[in-house]
Amino acid sequence: MLNRVVQVKPLDHYRLRVEFDDGVYGTIDLSDRLFGEMFEPLQDEAMFRQVSIDPHGVLCWPNGADLAPDAIHQRLISHRFPSLADPRRRAASSAISSRDDCVEQLLQALVDIDHNDIDQAAERLARVQEWITREADRAANEPALSKTQRAAS
């Protein structure tokens, strides 16, 4: 699947804030990657700030330098949801113990569906449902705070 950049904003210190057509967004730091014939000219901050998006959703500069959107997309996903980037961690981390785990399992279920692995997606969604049920039961059993206690906290 080709990921397309739909928005880019240059930031200080050779960083870019990017957003993709599927909603993935984040900041990438290119300060340690500006070397070689095409990227060295981007060490001039004024040139770096001339970043744009070509018609294919690729980040590019007037000197011809460009960045592969799929690599940036994967980097942002793996930074935010590490278990999605590492198949060994995905396999080892089937138990859900936090909201982040829950979100990762939901996202991975969508990947499983995209790869036609419906059985795996169903297993993940069952774990998500179990976790949500446990959390709802826990919240229902917590003693309610009085208005005075809520105001104090």
pLDDT tens readout for residues 63-117: 999 998 988 988 888 776 665 555 544 444 467 888 888 888 888 888 777 777 7
pLDDT computed for residue 92 by the predictor: 43
Q: For residue 52, what are the contacts with CB-CB under 8 A and spacing of at least 6?
A: 8, 59, 60, 61
pLDDT computed for residue 85 by the predictor: 56
pLDDT band at residue 8 using 50, 70 and 90 as cut-offs: very high
CA distances from 94 to 27, 55, 74, 121, 126 (A): 29, 40, 21, 12, 11
pLDDT tens readout for residues 34-50: 999 999 999 999 999 99
pLDDT computed for residue 81 by the predictor: 64
Sign of the dihedral through C-alpha 84, 88, 94, 95: negative
- Could you tell me if 87 and 35 are in contact, meaning their C-beta atoms sit under 8 angstroms apart? no
> Which pair of structure tokens corresponds to residue 130?
């179990």
Instruction: For residue 66, report the phi and psi dihedrals to the nearest 5 degrees.
Output: -150, 165
Domains, the chain, ordered by start: 5-76 (3.30.2020.10), 83-141 (no CATH)
Give the mean pLDDT of the chain.
82
pLDDT band at residue 22 using 50, 70 and 90 as cut-offs: confident
